[in-house]
Amino acid sequence: MFMYKVLNSRSVFLLLLLVSFLLSATCCQANDDIKNRMKARLPSLTALKAQGIIGENKAGYLEFRKGDKSQEALIKDENDDRRQVYEAIARQEGVDMGLVGSRRALQIAGQAAAGTWLQKPDGTWYQK
């Protein structure tokens, strides 16, 4: 009976360890997928920013500045990936996702190239 309990406890432990490993591997794979998608979009987004078509809003997302919305799917995909990243960071840090996005917006503004449209915390837009 004692041996059964030991084996049973060991089996449960190994099962939990395996599930934990699989979840972390899936998480890491998802993170790598997001990172790779965002990296692949970067040249197109940089060009759209340089043309003044899109800008970085105060919440850490891309927003159209001009009427040309031919790249709407690209912008939506980028914003969806950013949202997933912000959600993950918010869960990890135990803070509101909006706070993560607004902090990221400030970082983006600090690193933005000259001519990029940015939104101030009060909602007004300016070109760097």
What is the per-residue pLDDT across 36-73, written as a single tens digit (0 to 9) for each?
A: 999 999 999 999 999 999 999 999 999 999 888 999 99
pTM of the model: 0.76
8 or 28, higher pLDDT = 28
Q: What is the pLDDT of residue 28?
A: 57
16 or 31, higher pLDDT = 31
Question: Domain range for residue 80?
Answer: 2-127
Whole-number Å distance between alpha carbons of 71 and 53: 10
Total count of domains within the chain: 1
Whole-number Å distance between alpha carbons of 50 and 114: 9
